[in-house]
Amino acid sequence: MTKICFKEHDGTEHVVDAKDGESVMRIAIENGVPGLQAECGGNLSCSTCHGYLEQKFYDLLPKPDENEEMLLDGTIDPEPTSRLTCQIIVTPELDGMVVRWPESQY
Ligand code: FES
């Protein structure tokens, strides 16, 4: 099972088992992880599932598409490794990935 660590802005960590094929956002919601809202349910229209990845895992993933880039530009505090977690599908290669949440999703 792929393990993903979600890190709140205050450093609190939540390590969860992630089912392959699910979105990272869905895994966080299903496990009651605080720090995201995911208001649009993964339809790429809200950006409240914004998280920061480690460079290593960011580089493993396909690049964000134009719509995701546009939404990321509108987040409060984007970083070079920012992603919308509803657009990341869990695969075994993501085992050990840490996703940090921003201080605020708004
Ligand atoms: Fe809305 Fe990801 S949940 S963009």
Give the pLDDT band (50/70/90) at residue 1: confident
Q: How confident is the model over 45-73, as pLDDT tens digits?
A: 999 999 999 999 999 999 999 999 999 99
Q: What is the pLDDT of residue 46?
A: 96
Residue 100: its pLDDT value, please? 98
Residues 6+ away with beta carbon under 8 Å from 89: 21, 22, 23, 24
Which atom number of ligand 1 is nearest to the Cα of residue 86? Answer: 2
* CA dist list (Å): 52 to 100, 103: 5, 11
What type of residue is 21?
A: G
Report how far ligand 1's centroid is from the alpha carbon of 21 (Å): 17
Ligand 1 centroid, distance to 40 Cα (angstroms)? 5
